[in-house]
Amino acid sequence: MLNIILFGPPGAGKGTQSEKIIDKYKLTHIATGDLFRKHLGEGTDLGKLAQKYMDEGNLVPDEVVIGMVDEKIKETQDSSSGYIFDGFPRTVPQAKALDTLLEEKGEKIAGMIALDVPEEELKKRIKERGKTSGRTDDQDEAKIENRIKVYQEETLPVANYYDGEGKFVKIHGVGTIDEIFGKISSEIDKLK
């Protein structure tokens, strides 16, 4: 199985590129946002537990998030040729928990592919996306800057973790969608 993490700040192009990766490599997409919506919408035990934390204004604990990821893998592992993790892991403890979860299934992360995009370009892309998506948080300069700051402070250590494992690849994320995808594909092909 090929298991990769697509990584990068808000506006780096992860959504666009993950669709192309999924299509080419037939990977199962695991995005924590989708998992949250599914579990909350279906009122599962994990969804109810997550809702309890969110209602209290707290972050959902790693073990609940990992539980959702584990369930998704169990549901799809017989039909999947691998996974692309998008927006997860966000912290080093989540990365270590993911490694443990995969090891229990005889699997591992092949690599983390990080889209590297200058901050001014990120802001421009997010604002542009905001015009078409209708997302108000994509149109507010202060919110955009805060999201980038949170990424740099809280999520960047995950890149350092995988770099220490020899599994980190940085890709220049500026250019046409197809140019960037070509660079990503060449790195994925090395991981197979």
Q: Catalytic residue numbers? A: 14, 90, 129, 135, 147
Residue with tokens 């924590």: 32
d(CA 192, CA 186): 10
What does the alpha-carbon distance between residue 130 and residue 52 come to, in Å, rounded to a whole number?
30
**Strand order, beta sheet including 82-86:** 28-31, 82-86, 2-7, 111-116, 168-172
